[in-house]
Amino acid sequence: MLIKTDYFQYFCATIMENILVGIIKFFAHIIEDVAAHSNLKKAIIYSFAILSICILILYYLTKDN
């Protein structure tokens, strides 16, 4: 029973890691698009807003109950 639990925890951790990496890559792509199509001041503001949202999502996915 302990071995199955360890594999399940590893499986869940791997899935969580893949989800977090995907979210970070998605928001990085959005930031690159905004920076390419906007002036510098607007791109910096949008980038900080998107980064804040990403950090909030990361916090809620990784916090303990």
* Structure tokens, 5: 């639990």
Question: What pLDDT sits at residue 1?
Answer: 46
The whole-angstrom separation of Cα 34 and Cα 32 is: 6
Over the stretch 2-47, which tens digit does the pLDDT of each residue have?
A: 456 677 777 777 887 888 788 888 877 877 777 777 677 777 777 7
pTM for this prediction: 0.51
Compute the Cα dihedral for 32, 30, 24, 49 and give only its sign: positive
